[in-house]
Structure formats: structure tokens, C-alpha cells
Amino acid sequence: MKPLLRNLAEMTAHRDHLRLEVSVLSTLLLQGRDTRVRALEMFTHDGETWLRPRSWSEGGSIVTSEYEALADPAAFALPELPELAKCIASGGKSVGRVEEHGHTLWMPVWLGERAHACLEITQPKAFTRHQRDVIAGVYLVYQNYQSLLDYSERDALTGLLNRKTFDEQFARQPGVESWDARQDPEVPGQWLAVVDIDHFKLVNDRFGHLYGDEVLILVANRLRSLFRSQDRIFRFGGEEFVVLLRSATLAQARMALERLRSTIEAHEFPQIGHITVSIGFAAAQGGAPVEVIGRADQALYFAKEHGRNQVRHYEDLVASASLGQKVAHDEVELF
């Protein structure tokens, strides 16, 4: 029991979702010498739910995937595990399968009404009553702690990631330091966009903050629906949102942001009518998070000052000298 308690203590010491996941798998791995464990990430692609192994046991240790969800060759559609699909559809907590080569137990990890991951445990023999009790206890601790972490990282109004989580998410972007958007615009890279609702103060002043909050919630919903599961969306406060687009070419990033702009413009908001957004974006490389945000902000301000309701790319504006004289001073760019 002591190793289990020690692992539980270590598990709840983490403030990072992936490290927490690795820790809980290590704890479950203690259940038997021949036990195998996996954490399956759930994501949506073309309207269908998919899973992919994000962390798993290998040689007595836990390893994690190097792939983004959509690019993972090990990903598979949820219907390939019909027992799990049925369990998730009914809001269940666990389901098992018995096969010749072993016994498997799946436990969906829920955040609110949505299952975002699943723990999988496989062993040659049937699970004993004691094993099931211990596994269920670890699972509940993990899910409750995941919920607490998620609550601390989310904006209370919109449910999007909040400002304090941005630096950590930015640092997780693969290849940010080595990738350069100027080398080849056709090479997928990382992009940061700042989205600002035009004339939002007038909405609050004319209709009240209750309708203003509803606009923010509906815009957040559009952001969630128009971007991929591998992208990250934040509310920075007020009417400003930030999007980290991962593994996209310049053309793909521009198309995704234009789609957002036109979708917001076409939507009729209750009582308010139509609103617009201005968007500035930049390559997410070549500096600290605050520097990259500063570049995207420059493009956003240009959009605001030149008619609003448009998408502007920082590197394009610099190349055309639209932002004025650029003066280099060590690693700081002044305008």
C-alpha cells in the first residue's frame, strides 16, 4: 500500500495535465507485473470522435506520444471500440472486455458532460475485486483533480483557457524555436492570432452587460467550433481572444481566420443584431510570448485603424512597410 500512497501523493503534486496523466498511469501500473496501461486522448475530426494513445506503458515505464492528435498514425475512430462507444454515449464510468489474450478495462475521464480522455488497463487475468476497488479509487482521485486543474485554467464566463495558462501552452508548441515563417510559407508552422470584437463597449453601453456577456459566450462558441482540437483558444479579458494555431501553413492560417471573421459577421446575435471582429496574426516564433503577442497586436491595431472587420498579417505589413520604419536594436524591434 505504501508505493500506491506515495504515487497518489506525487500525482496530486502536479499542476500540468500531461505530467498528471503520466503519474496516474504509473500508479495504475503497480496493479500487476503484467499490467499494461494507456491514456487515450479523444478528439473530433470531420464530425467523428477519434482516439489516440497519448501516453502508455513500455518496458515498465510511461512514454508519451510525439505527435499532434490529427497527425498521429496510431489514431483510430471511437466505433472501433464499440463497448467504449456505448459506455460514453450513456455517460458511463467504466466498461470492460474479455478476450483470449487478456482482460481490458476502460474508464472515460469526464469534464462536465464531455469525455475528453480514457484510461485503459489490460492484464492477462481477470481483475480481482481488490484491484477494481483500487483502480476505481485512483480513477476518482484523478478525475476530480483533473476537474480542479481545468477549473483553475478556464475563464469562468466562456469556458475558454484563461490568460495565466497562455505561457505554458505557448511553450508546448512543437518547433517554435527552430521554425521560421520566412523560409517557406508552404511549410506548416505555428501562428498566433489576436481577435477583438469591434465596438464592444457600445454593445455594453446600449444593451447592458447581460447581453454583452451573451455575445462573448456566443463568440467563444464560434471559436471552439471553427478551430481544430490541436489549436488552443484563450480569453485574455474583456472582448479580446487569442488563438494558437498549430501545424498550419500561412494560407491555412489565413483561411481559418477569414472563416472566423466572416462567420461572426454573418451571425445574428439575439437583440444585438450583427457585430464584427478585427484580427491580427503573426508567426509564433522568434521571441518570447509577450513579443509574439506584441506583433499580432500591431497587426490588430492596423486592422482597427483601417476600417475594422478584417484580418491582417504582421509579416505582410512589415514587408510592405505599412507599419512604418523598423529599427533593430539587439533582440528588440521598435516601431
Known catalytic residues are 239
Count of Cβ atoms closer than 10 Å to residue 284 Cβ: 25
Residue 104: alpha-carbon gap to chain centroid: 28
Beta bridge partners of 295: none
Q: How far apart are CA 205 and CA 180, in angstroms?
A: 43
Sort 243 into a burial class: Cβ within 10 Å, 0-12 / 13-18 / 19+.
Answer: buried
**Residue among 30, 102, 21, 105 nearest 60 (CA):** 30
Q: Is the dihedral of CA 43, 46, 48, 51 positive or negative?
A: negative
C-alpha dist (Å) from residue 162 to 148, 236, 264, 296: 14, 6, 21, 18
Alpha helices of 45-165 — where are they, by DSSP H? 82-89, 129-153
Secondary structure of residue 178 in the 3-state scheme: coil
Q: Give Cβ neighbours of residue 331 (< 8 Å, ≥ 6 apart).
A: 287
What Å distances lie between residue 155 and 165, 217, 238, CA to CA?
A: 10, 11, 11
Among candidates 317, 170, 155, which has minimal Cα distance to 246?
Answer: 170
Residues in the chain: 335
Say how far apart CA 65 and CA 86 lie, in whole Å.
26
